[in-house]
Structure 1
Amino acid sequence: MAREIFVDLSSFQKDLTVDHYKKLGVKKAIVKISESTNYVNPYIHDLIDKAAAGGVNGFAFYHFGRFTNDSQAVVEAKCFIDKSKGKVNVKPGTLMILDAEINDMPTSSVIAFLKVLRDAGFKTGFYTYKYMLPKFNLEAIKPYMDWFWLAAYPTQGPADKNPDFNYFPSAKNVDAWQYTDNLLGFKVDGSITVTDNGNKLFNASYNANGSASSQPSKPSIKPTPAQPKTWTDVQGMTWHEEHGTFITGGAINLRWGANTQSTLIATLPAGSEVKYNAWARDNAGRVWLQQPRENGHDGYLVGRVGTEAWGTFK
């Protein structure tokens, strides 16, 4: 079989240009749609349009899971589907992937998430890191996943398009291997398909025309729209793009979601500098700041309540 290199895209790749994609020379990409129930990637259309203009002709989509029980998994899966339909008009047959990277995600909840996707007519994918595999019962998940994508990085730093298979992760049922987080020095994750199934599902997935078909089609390229300056998440909070630095005036909780019940990442001490890229105000008058983090994930903290700033903005 002919192995194929592909990339995955989130807000961290928003600055890639059409020329960058041409230099990468990939034909397939996986785009982040959502995370938990309160984040939707605001750059989805821009990423797809530029990638398509740079030669990408097939897309799949992923959701970063934050659920820790079955009922929460169902809610997140439905959110993923709703946002994918609303943002990119996904059709049945499209490959839709769960990104499972948190420590306390049960196997039963992974299955519940994938079942919602499959019942809605989508092909299902499961992604995680090699070191996390012991936390999941892969044999139990296997009947519910159509595509298994595993991450394991043999080296640090830029990697070319010829991964060293001496370091291939020794796990069952792997269809694609993510072997670098810095393909050709462009700071984008690079993966390679390793089975016929790995190629087949991409070729049956979404293309830039917004359809799913058994053969990839040449995309029709639309003019790249201006990057959105505001967007509304699933909680109804309106986010405003703004880039700055917030210096905490006291100890402030940093969370995975923009609400006080979200999982705690850390408690930042006074004087911590936080780079943020957006803000939103909740119904209680709290102004939340969005902090971009590794692999396209975001953290959230309160920077102001009413008119009282909880630190210094610059």
Structure 2
Amino acid sequence: MISKKSYGVDVAKYQPESLRVYAKAGAKYAIVQVSVSNSIVAPRAKAQITSAKANNIMPMGYFYGCFGHSATQAASEAHFAIKNAKSIGLPKGSYLGVDWERTDNNVNGNVSQNTAAIIQAMKVIRDAGYIPLLYSGADLLRNKINTKQIIKQFGTCLWVASYPVSSRVNTANFNYFPSMDGVAIWQFTDNWHGLSVDGDINVIDLKGTTKKYASKSKWVKKSGTFILGEALKIHTSPHINSPAIAKLQKGSVIKYDATLQGPLRLWLRQPRNNGKYGYVVGKDKYGKKLGKFK
């Protein structure tokens, strides 16, 4: 469980694949965009979910809806989001939100039509074993959606956007909280800690999947030969941003004596002079081999 008044972030393709910087800033959960409409897969979602787990941030998800007031389209988009949520590793029992807003969306239906379409999407999410949320701005929630019907069916499930200021914000100022019934999460800024990421604070306890995901990675003694399939850096430590000892050309051959499966990459350890080591990536964050193992 995530205790109320904890901070979180929501991320999409505009944010990095590694969420470590948000964890260091104090984020306890990350709401990751999994899809757009019923045809677009969020390109960074899998890596972001993986990174959330590696940094002990509770993973959540949402899809950007383009269904407007069509209940049929809403169901289609929700099914597509669920398919992608499963494929990127978002566990059942996690929160999965419907993002319904003005940009790239048809919000011209009447309140009854809009509400019925949103409810249809949320039902599909609930029936699939996820916990539905509804994201929108405070103005739309008040004027274009019957939130009483939403709350009656799904409980406290609103994720509302309302920004007191448009500059960097580190902490939520509850003097500006958009008071309305049914709010679970308040998105209070689009520049939390100056990190160019939306900042959220939950006003209820979040029950989702909060198990400890990260386990300490361990080196496995395993000797072998690796022939580089492309130019790669050999690093001073098994971190992609650590200093490079050298840049090895495609076709270079290294001998390694151990492997480490990190949160994203497979690292190979190369013994060097004076008992020191160099480290090179053998498989990237997508599991792709970057050379030939022998």
Which of 198, 211, 214 is the matching residue for 1:217? 211
Answer yes or no: is the 8 Å Cα contact 1:32–1:41 preserved in 2. Answer: yes
What's the counterpart of residue 164 of structure 1? 173
SS, match of residue 184 in structure 1:
coil
Q: Does structure 1 residue 117 correspond to structure 2 residue 125?
A: yes
- The amino acid that maps onto 1:140 is Q
Match for residue 184 of structure 2 among 151, 167, 175: 175
CA contact (8 A) 2:53 2:59 kept: no
RMSD of aligned Cα (Å): 2.3
Counterpart-to-counterpart distance in 2, 1:142 and 1:129: 16
2:196 aligns with 187
**Mind listing any 5+ residue stretches in structure 1 that lack a counterpart?**
206-215, 229-314
Aligned length: 211
Q: What is residue 25 of structure 2 aligned with on the other side?
A: 24
TM normalised by structure 1 equals: 0.62
Shift of 1:55: 4.1
* Mapped contact 2:65–2:77 kept (Cα < 8 A): yes
Residue in 2 that maps onto 1:104: 108
CA distance in 1, matches of 2:186, 2:99: 14
1:189 maps to amino acid: D
The corresponding residue for 2:277 is none
Determine the structure 2 residue equivalent to 1:37.
Answer: 38
Distance 1:169 1:61, change over 3 A: same
Deviation, structure 1 residue 15: 5.7
- The answer to whether the 8 Å contact 2:34/2:81 transfers is yes
Counterpart AA for 1:63:
F
Matching residue of 2:91: 90
- Distance in 1, matches of 2:19 and 2:96, equals 25
Task: Classify 1:128/1:79 alpha carbon distance in 2 versus 1 (closer, same or farther; 3 Å).
Answer: same
Structure 2 segments unaligned to the other structure (5+ residues):
216-261, 266-283, 287-294
In structure 1, C-alpha distance between the alignment counterparts of 2:193 and 2:61, rounded to whole Å = 22
Q: Residues 17 and 118 of structure 1: is their aligned pair in 2 closer, same or farther, counting only changes over 3 Å?
A: closer
| Percent of pairs with identical residues | 32
Structure 2 length as normaliser, TM-score? Answer: 0.66
Q: For residues 226-305 of structure 1, what are the structure 2 equivalents within 5 Å?
A: 226=284
Give the 4+ runs in structure 1 shifted more than 4 A: none
Aligned to 1:59: 59
Determine helix, strand or coil for the equivalent of 1:115: helix
